Every structure is written in structure tokens, then in C-alpha cells.
Amino acid sequence: MNDDTAVLEKNMKLNVYSVVELIQLARPHLVKSKGEIVNISSIAGQPSAFSRVPYYAMAKAALDQMMRALAIELIAEGVRVNNINNAGAAFVGGATGMKENTAVLEKNMQLNVYSVVELIQLARPHLVKSQGEIVNISSIAGQPCAFARVPYYAMAKAALDQMMRALAIELIAEGVRVNNVSPGAVITRFPQNMGISDAMAEKLYGHIATNPGALPCGKVGSPLDIANVVAFLADRSLSSYIVGQTIIADGGTTLVLASNADPVVNQQLKSI
């Protein structure tokens, strides 16, 4: 909390005010078209301490609360406000594989599973009332293949996939669909968050893109590629018959599964 309040204002403008203004502008068109609103929040807004970025966390908490109030207000006009859970990171602690301390396992579970459960519990009444959708961002690491360097992350994502299946059966009876999206390689800050340098991350993405044994499509995905799948699953007019499924968007990686045995990929993970 040592940051100047100007930093707080900047966070609020970017993460809250901009969303409010956009919704206000789009509202007449959304009401007319019976459209959808999907806000991307962050686990930083959940009831846990993000002491390094308190102003960002405050902004995301405000966004989450706005979503709940807005869902009640707009459902009366035929506009649904949907819930997208975008929690995810792989924590490592200096060791690899199952040599990691169990505290690392707990941290992975808290971020990738517990946070999603808590958010769904909070949003459930509003989702039932609005007949909304839940789309969780999982990972191909949760699929039945070995991610030996990050087993705790893979375990968390597998748990998230299984939770989704059980929840889908429970909530479809109340008119709420639940599905997952499991991305493969996507150009984000994910490698850097694991401790890989910018230069190494760029090299890693470049290697994956040019290695058909790791990525048959030859192109590392962008956030928009995943967002399009999320938008499809959140649009009941397009995907109403999809319930309790994990949609894999990985450019074909899980068809070959060679990336996990690739020496360059493994070398980067060993360096963390």
C-alpha cells in the first residue's frame, strides 16, 4: 500500500471504469439483441491477499461485485452476464517433478482449483437466475498424458476438469451450463511467471512453432484464439448442446504429445 493513490486511480480506470463505460455504451444494443456480457476478471479479486498488487486486487474485486449487481439488473432486460474463470499458473519451487515440496502442490491447488470453486459458489445464485454459463480455463496439462516437470500443476488442472464434469450434471438441472477450455501453447506471460526469462520464452515459443512434433499447426496460439472458443461456449445460441465438456484448443499438440519429451522444452523447465 506504499504506492501513490494515482496508481490506484490508474488501476480503477483500466480495470473498472473502462468496463462500466463500455457497458453503458453497449447496453441499448445488448438489450435489443438480447446479447451477452462476459467480463474477464482475475483471482486477485478473490478473498485472499495479493499484497504485492493491492490496488489491482481492489479493482478486480470491484469488477466482480459490479458483475453480480449487473447480472441481476440486466437479466430483467434479457441480457445475461456470464462468468469466465481465468485462474491459472504453474508454481515451481526449485525442484522438478514429485520432488517439489507439498507446499507447492497446495499453492497450485489454491490458485487453479479452490479459487474457481469459491467464485462459482459466489456466482451460482446469479447464474441460476440469469440462466448463465460457466467457462473455466483449464489446460492440456490436465489431459491423460504425462507433464513430468510440473506434476502439481497438471494434478490441479485434472482436478478442475473433473470438478467441471460433476458440476455440469448438478447445474444443468438449474439451467446453467458448465464447460472447460484447455489451451495448449499460447503466447502469454505464463513462462515468465514460472521463472523463464523473456529471451528464453521467445526462444521456446519459436522452437515449439517450428517443431511439428510439438505443434502440428505450426503456429503458437494467441489469447484471441482461446477467447473465440470461450465466446462460442458462452453463446447458448451456438453451443446449447455442449454440456460438461473440455474443448481442447492446442493446435494439435495433444495429438502428438512430443512436446513433453522435447529436449529444448525440457531444458527450459530444468533451468527454472
The single residue of 55, 56, 114, 152 carrying the catalytic annotation is 152
Closest among 133, 137, 167, 192 to 244, alpha carbons compared: 167
What is the phi/psi pair of residue 75, to 5°? -65, -25
Q: Decide if 152 is catalytic.
A: yes
Give Cα separations from 208 to 62, 73, 77, 253 (angstroms).
38, 46, 47, 10
Looking up cell 446453467 gives: 176
Neighbouring residues of 115: CB distance < 8 A, sequence distance ≥ 6: 43, 46, 48, 85, 87
Closest among 259, 265, 231 to 247, alpha carbons compared: 231
- Are 272 and 196 in contact by the 8 Å Cβ rule? The answer is yes
Give Cα separations from 57 to 53, 77, 272 (angstroms).
6, 30, 27
**Cα–Cα distance between 272 and 266 in angstroms, integer?**
10
First to last CA, the chain: 30
- Are 59 and 11 in contact by the 8 Å Cβ rule? The answer is yes
Give Cα separations from 192 to 49, 52, 89, 270 (angstroms).
22, 17, 10, 14
* Residues annotated as part of the active site: 152
